[in-house]
Structure 1
Amino acid sequence: MLEPDGFDDERIALGPQLASFEMLAIKQQCSLKDAQQYFKEHLSIGDYYTEGQQVLGHWFGQGAEDLGLGGVTHLDEFVRLCENLHPHTGEKLTMRQNTMRTDIGHDGLEHASSNRRVFYDFTFSPPKSVSVAAMVGDNPRIVEAHEQAVNEALRQLQSFAATRVRKKGECTDRLTGNIVAAVFQHETSRALDPHLHSHCILFNATFDQVEKKWKALQNHEMLAAQKFVENAYYHELTRALVKFGYQIENRPRGDFEIKGISPELIKRFSKRREEIDQKTRELLAREPEKAEGNIAAIRENIAHRERGRKIRDIGLETLQALWHGQMTSQENESLRKLTVNSCPASAAEENLAEKAVTWAEEHLFERRSVVHEHELWRHALEYARGREVTIADIQAVTSRRNYHRFDEHPGKVTTREHLLREWEIVQTAKEGLGDCHPLVGHPRPFNPQLDEEQRQALDALVSNINRVSVFRGGAGTGKSFVLRELVEQVRDGGRNAVVLAPQRQQVVDMERAGFPSPTTVASFLAKRELAEGAAVIVDEAGQIGGKQMLELIRLVRERNARLILSGDTRQHGAVEASDALLAIERHAGVKPAELHKIRRQDPARGQTLDEREHIKQYRQAVKLAASGKLDESFSQLDKMGAGVSCSLSNQAEELATEYLRLAEKNVSAVVISQTWAEVHRVNEQVRDKLKSNGLIGANDVTVQTLEKIDLTRAQKRDERFYPADAVVVFNQKVREAEAGAKGKLGCIVKAGVLVEVDGRFVTVTDKVLDKITVCRPHETQIAENDRLHLKANRKLASGDRVTNGELVTVKSVRPDGTIKLTDGRVLDSGYREFLPGYAVTSYGSQGKTVDYVLFSDSTVKPATNAQQWYVSISRGRRGIRIFTPDKEQLRENITRKGDRPSVMDLLAERYKNDWFYRLIERRWGKRAAVIMTRSRRGTRRAEKMRQKQNIAHGHARSVVRQSRSIGV
């Protein structure tokens, strides 16, 4: 099973999520009083050694110029803008002036809150090694390069400035491209460590050229482009550093450091961060209820409230002596020689901008069919960081690319390949509406175990007259039971039935459920063995991407076969680009057969009246989530006592305690976590709890396990993404390397990747990069009765198979390194792709069913959305507990959409117009136009067929019912 790595928050240094590695931090200021004091107390007072000097901030931005602001930032100008007044005339600037509002909260009470954002603080900070080289190494050129890089990043940020349009029924944002900003540069932290950084204060005002007035700044696009702006800053800074003779070490998480400055030295000069983190830990331990709030805000409060007094009588020379005194003579000498011993800057690389953009395209479009253009710029800059190419060069390349751009969605782009692929999928499904005879002409009587809803769904499927049909049902509605009956009906009717699923684990589950000879979609497409007129039945079809779906649909069309797609697009979709089933549901006009009744959370499972009532309420919460009522779903679970308020510091302990309680009752449970860092923490805590209570063996055996690094094909061709200790595992045979073989990266070559395996080099070409996985090794303790989560498909030496995603239990660990499982299988000593199996990600939990779900909320907003919530809460049969530090934040996070926009979503109705076909022909030639024209004829034909479909479908159903009633 190809499972994305989950949301890897990288915040693992502190245990609880306290640290952050973002070099562009963004805060908004909503308090007018605090904003007015900000200039006096924080910005104008310079670094804490300046002996009374002030930092002379400067104005920046087209908006500032329009207001007549330039040069040095003065207090009176700053304060007037905070008050929403013109800095010179004192007149009101934008419409909104009130600073407080009253809202009704979820508790039904009135709550006062700030009504107007005063400004946004965008703070640019280079990696610590840069501050060390600049300040301790006394290199003013770096300080100047930082300032220039900040200015370039702000120029890019300004292009995303927008305002809201709320006139004549419009409800959109309009780009304005102008900001009013004041920039203040600092060079140390309050702990007197070197800390070069710039505060860029963006006032909540922008000039709308269309309406000819100042309006509030809409920051949505600016925040969306944050990573691009951050990389613009990085790129300009590293270009300068390389010119100065420094060597740059780019890191896979997106940042960089200067080579030659040790991690120990970096940590030594990060005392302020360590101090804030320590005080945060102490506060959470002392007042755990505070952990229910936002941790970043708590850290900010601590940083502000408990900061030391400013020291103003220490000069720069004294500070440098202080810094050098904290270093060994060897460290001082190494710092001095950083540029002396560096290699000269390399010559400009030919076509670097083209190569960088091509890499970004391959990386992004592998898993998404629509991206924002600034995402391409961001990844292209990451690829070319420190090399001689400008941001303008990158942007010029993308402007020349033959992307399809969406007029209604400025900045979003797709490729010819993705547009034509999604188009053909949808149009083929449209062409097939009403195009066939009933799937089963003379069905036998239905299984009496089917209830009325299931019989109706099966009736709709066997009488279906479409080339492509859809069977939709929510989590736990019993789709598999109906599908198995459908397969039997198809075969009894004399038609070949091919049963498929996207992942190997799903195939194994279908085999256990009695499906005849299921196989994976990939394996089926590789062989292309399909009888004329057969029925292809696909379970979990929502996890098929556009590329495989198009291959499948084309093969079905060639063989005059039928395609039945079963799935739930409200759950996690495909890893590869395009949620194809969702596109068919939304745009092809295919009417699905549906199941709504939830059977997994069955009150009859309850052993007491109270438990039966509890399961009934739980089922209602899942039903609400399935219907898109996320807030009501959360309220239902909270009302029934499922929510457990806990701090981040003791969350894992609480989860472990609950897991132990359920294990002692001999019921099944799984912890569903939002990030991989959290999965590891919870696994460790749960295992310790089980071990201390004797539920797993006392004697640990240490084995080296391998954890997958989730990489795209483009990333596999980039050495940045291979850690020094990376292990390359072959999932399938490649040349001389057998499945399961392990090696080390040799180098990246033009043809692909060179891997050293047992002293021999194996070339893995670009075409077969999906046959290798890059892993990082870990030492893992296992013992009798340990739970393991297997992470790779493999045929074992015994002939047995293991599949990615399985949860298994250890019976014993043998001296030769093999691991015997309680089900009798034996993991070879070479099979080490597993981790403790007590906690999994939401994606990893999909398809699994347990008695109880323990949901672990890490408060990481990007890791939480509607799909993640629905999948997570629906895994249990009997109950769920939700462990969260902040209920209201979780309630808000789960309403975020998790599905990706498709090309067809953004095209909307435009593709029906003649000009669109002419545009495609001009842009991509006659071959594309032929596909489009054929599809258009199919669309027109489908419109006519759809009008007849209800009559034809009704007739087909009557024939089916008549056949069944006479026992044919």
Structure 2
Amino acid sequence: MISFKALPSAASTAEYFSKDNYYTLGQAQELSAWTGRAAEDLGLAGRVDEKVFAALLEGKLPNGVQIAASQGKHRAGVDITFAASKSVSLLALIGGDERIVVAMQESVQAALTWVEKNVMEARIWDPVLGEQVPEKTGNLVAATFLHDVSRNNDPQLHVHSIVANATRASDGKWRAMTNKAFYEAQHIISAVQNAELRTRIEALGYETTPAKNPIDGAFEVQGVSREVVEAFSSRRLEILAALAKSGRGSAAERQIVTLNTRKDKDLTLDPEQRNLGWHETARSLGFDPAPLINQARERAGRDQTVWTRIVDGIRGIGAKGMAIAAAMGITPGDGDPLVPERLGRLDPVSYAAAQAVASAARELGENEAAFSRHDLIRTALERQGPFTVSHIEARIDQLTRGGQLIGREQMLTSEQALAMESRVIDLAEAGKGAIEPIATGVQVGARLQAAARELGLRRLNPGQERAGVAILTSRDRVHLIQGGAGVGKSAALAPVAAIARAEGHQVIALAHVGRMAREFGAKVNAPASTVDGFLRKYERVIDGTAYPVKMEAARQALSGTLIMVDEASQIGTDRFARLIELANKMEVAGLVFAGDKGQLPAIERGRPFADLQREDVARSAITENLRAKTPQMQAINKAIEEGDIAGAFEALRPTTSTVPLGKAAETAATMWANLPRDEREQTVLLASGRAMRTAGNAATQRALLAKGELGVAKASLKVLDRITITKEGARQLKGYQDGRLVEFTTNLPKAGFARGEIGEVVNVADGKVELVMEGGEVRSFDPSRLPRNLKHDAVTIYEQKQITIHEGDRIRWTAKDEARELFNGDMAHVKRIDGDSIIVRTANGDEHQLFGKDPMRDRFDLAYAINVHIAQGITAKAGIVMMSSLERLLNSSRAFVVAATRIAETIHLVVDDPNKVEKQVERNPGDKTSAREVAKPTSETDKKAEKKDFEKERDYAKELKKHLGIDKMTEARSRDWDMGL
């Protein structure tokens, strides 16, 4: 694994590394070295001189150049710490296998060489764009220090790589480097070094196995037991104990606990005395590394590795490649477009690399139409085959040259993703001019206003009326309604549905999740369904395999129907295509997609709702915000509409509470719990992600207990928290960690599992997952054998989470039970707990008694706090939003927009570092990249034209605001949209 740390002042950094130990294997010599092309250019080689090192960290180069300081302060650089896994450290430092130390140093050097070529950047002037832009420099200067001990004096082989803040740009000038690229590449750098070290360890004769949590290809050496590993991992046990005490365990929370429990290194302990202590501990555990090391040396002497043994006795290049792929947990499929070569054309290692890249592209491609080259490399390396990054990069380059992968330097997509996006556009265009208008005449607008009055709605504003008229009078089957949060899209569609019914058309309401679908159906007075349920019902009609009688029944049910889809931005390309294809086949009277391209996109790949708005597809815009009721909320929504994140945070400032790191959830929960009960019911508690939501729920429950508002009776339960994993990811071992539950969601007769069966993971070994089933039987299965061609997941993986519920607690279902009308995402309250019986009351007043083995007993969670994905589509009078600078990847513009625009009157932000979070939100749009966008070639002329277009649009908006005022500007924008400008 690796860790990143921006270095403090040059003086304190140099002093730290001069005092810290550089001893390894009892050798009393400083193990340090200069590395990098820039180091060579500066004449730096061999051991690191402390004075030169200190000067370099201050920006003073040996050639006399002084790196320019930014804002009067020079950043020293970045400390990238590469740490070997515990089993590797034990064999090197207790077992005395010096070959491992060399392998560690070589793997770090290989990783830094990769970083130098692919990550190192400086900012230079771009005359085309007229601004500073990042440039790959291909050179770095780094000082490496080999260490052998952790802060808790446990054996820990690791290398500090201090990358100085200096690099030479293409213009020959020495400049400061950009840190952003380093932090973005953290996971791939880790994967590169893990692969380099693992292949070297295997070449030394050892067998490796994926680590318990094999992120970035982390591994352990077989033969070193888990008991021994944990006995020499006191630091990890300290962190876990602190997490258990606080009832937390997210990545962000682990980071806080790691810092809070961190000790200074004890530099007084004699290395020889420390080594004696290590050996004594090993003896007490019965751990003797000598036989394992001797066996490895013997294998290495015969040039034997785990991979040569796998193919021993197998004839044929193709068969050997398939055997290696199977050992990696990959089952090659016939006709894989990313492995077009005939079997036997690739040597076994190249074949393994090809299968790893294809598997990685499938996994990434389930959620993203386009993905970064770095993510593809990292995910392929996680397959842990007999290859390193050079093999994977060569394969990606080969596929790019052959056209199987398409894209620019850093972003790639597949032929299949590009074809699917083009298909959505073709299907939408096939419906142009294909229908008769639902309503005709010059009085359609008046009819809409009359229908709105009859429904008890307020008068439709101009944008709502124009959208309704466009839908009812259109001859195009597909129509898009674009509108930001709170503009009344569903209110505009209610009178449209009423008129459609009056004209003899059935109306169907669809949405991404059940709760939204039911609410949308109630608003437009139409039968409702989830998109998935609707598509599942007509699956054979769409793919053409339905019997003629079923096809005719579907046509009678759907022909002439107006189908409305709410929150359309959350629907991915595949489902979008199937909806339009079904609509065209069944000749529906209209297919309306309503949503906001600025809010959260679909979890699965693609952004078809946004992409279709760039095409010649019928669309309308609704712009006037109806939700914001107070000057503050109006200012926030106005800033968001104009893309002014800083302005939105400024409007939030009067109601922003700044709290210590890690205290956002507790503070927000207390704030919510202290509200009067009637205000509480109208106030939503919002979190960015799962970890903050869990912390917020626990803190709220504690606050309500302290106030005496929850009952004494309680029940301690293990509930199931679903792990988000792709279908391809479920075919890899990394998702199957000890203690997790695996539910089989399809029948697997060959493997001996039936749909609905659940087992707990107790061991992962030799490519197999061992499960203890509900009856106590131990069974195993091979994830790589899970079927690929299913439209749904073959298995669902859950983390078991211990929660305590009290009488009065608010809960949220995490699964559905259609028979009892309990749906995923719906709220309920715990009415009574009586021994093994839990009685819950749903929002509609129904009561249900959950006994011991009731399947819904472990399918709920506390529901005081919700995250933004659940919140999209709801409206609340007031809201408390909790955010943390530690949730950097979750702090996106889209997530912030959803959180901030749910609220009508009063919003309160609770955050540990408002300035830092604001910058994170500004820098992370949370966008998806389309395949067509990546496939489009980009030139310097294109970049310049795009910049001019942006500036022109910005200046146009300023002029409108200046001369017309904000209300007229909004109206003008809406008019321009309708005109296609």
State the TM-score bracket (shorter-chain normalisation). 0.7 to 0.9
Residue number among 602, 622, 629 corresponding to 2:644 in the alignment: 629
How far has the Cα of 1:557 moved from its partner?
Answer: 3.6
Match of 2:360 in 1: 360
Does residue 873 of structure 2 align to residue 847 of structure 1? yes
Q: 1:372 to 1:458 in 2, by over 3 A?
A: same
How far has the Cα of 1:577 moved from its partner?
Answer: 0.4
Residue number among 133, 138, 147 corresponding to 1:177 in the alignment: 138
Quick one: which amino acid aligns to residue 236 of structure 1? Answer: E
CA contact (8 A) 1:667 1:851 kept: no
Deviation per CA, 1:154-201: give whole Å up to 9, x if none. Answer: 121112123334132335433332222222222224553323221222
CA–CA distance in structure 2, aligned partners of residues 427 and 541 of structure 1: 18
Match of 1:236 in 2: 196
How far has the Cα of 1:371 moved from its partner?
Answer: 1.0
Alignment partner of 2:367: what SS? coil
How far has the Cα of 1:890 moved from its partner?
Answer: 1.8
Between 1:413-422 and 1:655-664, the stretch displaced more is 655-664
Quick one: which amino acid aligns to residue 833 of structure 1? Answer: R
Quick one: which amino acid aligns to residue 632 of structure 1? Answer: G
CA contact (8 A) 2:435 2:477 kept: yes
Deviation per CA, 1:260-319: give whole Å up to 9, x if none. Answer: 65667656655678999999999x9xxxxxxxx99979988997xx846743x82x4322
Between 1:424-433 and 1:457-466, the stretch displaced more is 424-433
How far has the Cα of 1:692 moved from its partner?
Answer: 3.2
Q: 1:277 to 1:772 in 2, by over 3 A?
A: closer
- Unaligned stretches of 5+ residues in structure 1: 1-22, 102-112, 285-292, 603-614, 914-949, 955-968
CA–CA distance in structure 2, aligned partners of residues 341 and 49 of structure 1: 23
CA contact (8 A) 2:448 2:465 kept: no
CA contact (8 A) 1:377 1:395 kept: yes
- Unaligned stretches of 5+ residues in structure 2: 247-251, 309-323, 325-347, 542-553, 942-974
Match of 1:607 in 2: none
Match of 1:782 in 2: 805
Return the TM-score normalized by structure 2: 0.77
Alignment partner of 1:536: what SS? strand
CA–CA distance in structure 2, aligned partners of residues 251 and 588 of structure 1: 47
Name the structure, 1 or 2, with higher relative contact order (CA <8 Å, separation 6+): 1
CA–CA distance in structure 1, aligned partners of residues 479 and 910 of structure 2: 40
Match of 1:865 in 2: 892
CA–CA distance in structure 2, aligned partners of residues 321 and 753 of structure 1: 38
Does residue 712 of structure 2 align to residue 695 of structure 1? no
Q: 1:818 to 1:951 in 2, by over 3 A?
A: closer
Deviation per CA, 1:76-95: give whole Å up to 9, x if none. Answer: 543554454552x42x26xx
Does residue 697 of structure 2 align to residue 683 of structure 1? yes
Match of 1:671 in 2: 685
Match of 1:937 in 2: none
CA contact (8 A) 1:48 1:189 kept: no
CA contact (8 A) 2:813 2:826 kept: yes
CA contact (8 A) 1:204 1:217 kept: yes
Report how many aligned residue pairs link the two structures.
842
Deviation per CA, 1:218-246: give whole Å up to 9, x if none. Answer: 45444333211111111222233344435
CA–CA distance in structure 1, aligned partners of residues 504 and 689 of structure 2: 48
Alignment of 1:568-583 (within 5 A): 568-583=596-611
Deviation per CA, 1:324-371: give whole Å up to 9, x if none. Answer: 34x274325355565579999523424322222222111101000111
Does residue 3 of structure 2 align to residue 25 of structure 1? yes
Quick one: which amino acid aligns to residue 194 of structure 2? Answer: Y
Match of 1:916 in 2: none
CA–CA distance in structure 2, aligned partners of residues 330 and 775 of structure 1: 37
Alignment of 1:273-672 (within 5 A): 307=264, 310-311=267-268, 314=270, 316-325=271-280, 327=281, 329-333=283-287, 339=293, 345-348=305-308, 349=324, 350=348, 351-384=351-384, 387-402=385-400, 409-429=408-428, 438-442=437-441, 443=444, 444-446=447-449, 447-448=452-453, 449=457, 450-453=459-462, 454-526=464-536, 527=538, 528=541, 529=554, 531-532=558-559, 534-561=561-588, 562-585=590-613, 587-590=614-617, 592-602=619-629, 615-639=630-654, 642-662=655-675, 664-665=677-678, 667-668=680-681, 669-672=683-686
Return the TM-score normalized by structure 1: 0.78
CA contact (8 A) 1:368 1:900 kept: yes
Quick one: which amino acid aligns to residue 535 of structure 1? Answer: L
Q: 1:556 to 1:793 in 2, by over 3 A?
A: same
Alignment partner of 2:307: what SS? coil
CA–CA distance in structure 2, aligned partners of residues 511 and 434 of structure 1: 28
Alignment of 1:919-958 (within 5 A): none
How far has the Cα of 1:378 moved from its partner?
Answer: 0.7
CA–CA distance in structure 1, aligned partners of residues 912 and 644 of structure 2: 22
Alignment partner of 1:525: what SS? helix
Match of 1:885 in 2: 912
Deviation per CA, 1:79-120: give whole Å up to 9, x if none. Answer: 554454552x42x26xx52x352xxxxxxxxxxx62x43432
Does residue 676 of structure 2 align to residue 721 of structure 1? no
Quick one: which amino acid aligns to residue 898 of structure 1? Answer: G
Deviation per CA, 1:646-699: give whole Å up to 9, x if none. Answer: 223544432332222236345323322233233222222211221232322211
Match of 1:803 in 2: 823
Residue number among 46, 60, 78 corresponding to 1:71 in the alignment: 46
CA contact (8 A) 2:167 2:177 kept: yes
CA–CA distance in structure 1, aligned partners of residues 502 and 520 of structure 2: 19
Indicate the percent of aligned positions where both proteins have the same amino acid: 24
Q: 1:675 to 1:495 in 2, by over 3 A?
A: closer
CA–CA distance in structure 2, aligned partners of residues 761 and 271 of structure 1: 32
CA contact (8 A) 1:252 1:720 kept: yes
CA–CA distance in structure 1, aligned partners of residues 273 and 489 of structure 2: 74
Does residue 864 of structure 2 align to residue 838 of structure 1? yes
Quick one: which amino acid aligns to residue 109 of structure 2? Answer: N
Alignment partner of 1:788: what SS? strand
Between 1:334-343 and 1:834-843, the stretch displaced more is 334-343
Q: 1:652 to 1:533 in 2, by over 3 A?
A: closer
Match of 1:163 in 2: 122
Match of 2:947 in 1: none
Deviation per CA, 1:743-799: give whole Å up to 9, x if none. Answer: 45799999999996767999963333525421122333223221112111222xxx3
CA–CA distance in structure 1, aligned partners of residues 756 and 847 of structure 2: 17
CA contact (8 A) 2:427 2:577 kept: no
Does residue 758 of structure 2 align to residue 742 of structure 1? yes
CA contact (8 A) 1:800 1:825 kept: no
Alignment partner of 1:169: what SS? coil
CA–CA distance in structure 1, aligned partners of residues 841 and 256 of structure 2: 47
CA contact (8 A) 2:731 2:786 kept: no
Quick one: which amino acid aligns to residue 583 of structure 1? Answer: D
Alignment partner of 1:248: what SS? strand
How far has the Cα of 1:909 moved from its partner?
Answer: 7.5
Match of 2:318 in 1: none
Q: 1:644 to 1:337 in 2, by over 3 A?
A: farther
Q: 1:663 to 1:353 in 2, by over 3 A?
A: farther
Q: 1:251 to 1:841 in 2, by over 3 A?
A: farther
How far has the Cα of 1:518 moved from its partner?
Answer: 1.9
Does residue 16 of structure 2 align to residue 62 of structure 1? no
Alignment partner of 2:391: what SS? helix
CA contact (8 A) 2:23 2:29 kept: no
Between 1:34-43 and 1:693-702, the stretch displaced more is 34-43
CA–CA distance in structure 1, aligned partners of residues 479 and 243 of structure 2: 55
How far has the Cα of 1:431 moved from its partner?
Answer: 6.6
CA contact (8 A) 1:727 1:777 kept: yes
Q: 1:667 to 1:268 in 2, by over 3 A?
A: same
How far has the Cα of 1:456 moved from its partner?
Answer: 3.5
CA contact (8 A) 1:324 1:332 kept: no
